[in-house]
Amino acid sequence: MNNMKNNKNMKNALKWAVVLAVVLCLPNIIRNDYWMVVFVRVLINIVLVLGLNLITGLIGQMNLGSAGIYALGAYSSALFVKNTGLSPWLGLLVAVVTGIVIGLVLGYPSLRLKGVYFSLTTIGFTQVVQIFLNNMTKVTGGSQGLKSIAPFSIFGFQFDSYIKSYYLYVAFVLIAIFCAVRIVNSKWGRLYRSLRDNSDAVEMSGINIADVKVKAFIAAAIFGTVAGAMYAHFYGYISPSTYTVDISMNFVLMLLVGGLGSVSGAMFGAVIVTILPELLRGLGNYYLITFYIIIFLGILFFPNGWVEAASRPIKKIIAKRKKEESASGEK
């Protein structure tokens, strides 16, 4: 039994090591600025979607407020750094604090609102954020946005090129994956899934649902605001027009494509939904419609996500092999 578990852990570690090796080698394989920008965007999206997965994937509440969270993360960090001249790392800390506040603001309505009512509230949140950013011209720069946002730096070493930023953001993503895996595979992940299935039974097990949900929203919002800060310090320019409800929908699409509730699904979904439109650009005016048709069919035929669909035949082979092994053992 222990040997089987060790084998499984080894295989998992090997799989992740191969993925990491590919990710680290990517800038040397694809020497192209355009694709480097796309890859950095993938990394930023992975961080955000890992957070969204806690709320929409595990607890099952359709959060369409990701764009608002993303925007506030970007603006809080950028404004702090621009106004104080201090390090973007402190800006990142401000983004984390912003995430805690957003988590509280969005977490409490989630206790009273369910289904479509909650989704509408989160859409409203994004709209309010966008209107606020557009109209507080003196603070936010209005529709002109904020320019010349400093990139991250360590002891004078500036992450001011695409490749340098890429490697820094790989480190960010690794930390985000670590946190997400620890949450999803712990008693908290189990609790979130049980809340999705039946909150009455959870409460009768002595669990303070309000506390659990608000903490989940805080965690998710921190992932979102950190992603926002990553965006601001990579591009050096942010404006309210980036943070529309459309991109909130895209983040949900990433989850649906990868598979709700799983960390690898969230990551895979972020990769597909960010890269696929770029690969289809050759189709000219038809690239977006082709992209959405592929996504629509993908969700229709693989409702549990593409990762689960791809791993199904492998799981079948493993199950068959196990059955054969146990049969031969009995003989």
Partner 1 sequence: MEKNSILKLTDVTKRFGGLLAVDALNIDVKEHSIHSLIGPNGAGKTTTVNLITGVLPVTSGTVEFMGQNVTGKKTYEIARLGIGRTFQNIKVFQTMTLLENIMVGGNQLTKMGLVRTILDFKGAAGEEKMLREKAESLLDKLGMYHLRNEYMKNLPYGRQKISEIARAMMTDPKLILLDEPAAGLNPSERAELVKVIQQSFEEGFTFFLIEHNMDVVMNLSDDITVLSFGKKIAAGTPAQIRDNDEVITAYLGSAFVKNKEQEGAE
Which residues are CB-contacts of 51 (< 8 A; sequence separation ≥ 6)?
180, 219, 220, 221, 222, 223, 224, 227
- In the complex, least distance from residue 5 CB atom to partner 1, rounded to whole angstroms: 13
Q: How far apart are CA 95 and CA 80, in angstroms?
A: 9
- In the complex, least distance from residue 199 CB atom to partner 1, rounded to whole angstroms: 9
Stretch that binds partner 1, among 67-75, 143-151, 202-210, 321-329 (CB under 8 A): 202-210
Contact 259, 83 (CB under 8 A): no
Output the six-digit token pair for 49.
């979607």
Q: Which residues of 291-302 are buried (b: 16+ CB within 10 A; e: fewer)?
A: beeebeebeeeb
Q: How far apart are CA 9 and CA 186, in angstroms?
A: 16
Q: Is 311 in the site for partner 1 (CB under 8 A)?
A: no
Which residues are CB-contacts of 294 (< 8 A; sequence separation ≥ 6)?
276
Q: Is 197 in the site for partner 1 (CB under 8 A)?
A: yes
Contact 233, 90 (CB under 8 A): no
Q: What three-state secondary structure class fits 153?
A: strand
Q: How far apart are CA 215 and CA 150, in angstroms?
A: 31
Q: Is 194 in the site for partner 1 (CB under 8 A)?
A: yes
Stretch that binds partner 1, among 44-52, 80-88, 150-158, 179-187 (CB under 8 A): 179-187
> Could you say which DSSP state residue 186 is in?
S
H or E element at residue 158: strand 157-158
Closer of 143 and 208 to partner 1 (Cβ): 208
Q: Is 186 in the site for partner 1 (CB under 8 A)?
A: yes
- In the complex, least distance from residue 183 CB atom to partner 1, rounded to whole angstroms: 7
Stretch that binds partner 1, among 114-122, 151-159, 208-216, 290-298 (CB under 8 A): 208-216
Of 208, 281, 286, 297, the one binding partner 1 by CB under 8 A: 208
Q: Length of the chain, please?
A: 331
Q: Is 55 in the site for partner 1 (CB under 8 A)?
A: no
Closer of 178 and 286 to partner 1 (Cβ): 178
Stretch that binds partner 1, among 38-46, 123-131, 207-215, 313-321 (CB under 8 A): 207-215
Output the six-digit token pair for 227.
């992603």
Stretch that binds partner 1, among 118-126, 200-208, 233-241, 281-289 (CB under 8 A): 200-208
Stretch that binds partner 1, among 28-36, 81-89, 188-196, 226-234 (CB under 8 A): 188-196
Of 1, 4, 116, 204, the one binding partner 1 by CB under 8 A: 204
Of 201, 297, 317, 319, the one binding partner 1 by CB under 8 A: 201
Closer of 7 and 84 to partner 1 (Cβ): 7
Which residues are CB-contacts of 242 (< 8 A; sequence separation ≥ 6)?
71, 231
Of 2, 83, 148, 205, the one binding partner 1 by CB under 8 A: 205
Contact 71, 61 (CB under 8 A): no
Which residues are CB-contacts of 192 (< 8 A; sequence separation ≥ 6)?
54, 58, 59, 212, 216
Question: Nearest Cα to 73, choosing from 265, 247, 238?
Answer: 238
Closer of 173 and 232 to partner 1 (Cβ): 173
Q: Is 322 in the site for partner 1 (CB under 8 A)?
A: no
Closer of 2 and 285 to partner 1 (Cβ): 2
Q: Is 203 in the site for partner 1 (CB under 8 A)?
A: yes
Stretch that binds partner 1, among 18-26, 69-77, 184-192, 234-242 (CB under 8 A): 184-192
Q: Which residues bind partner 1 (CB under 8 A)?
A: 178-179, 182-183, 186-188, 190-191, 193-194, 196-198, 200-209, 215, 219
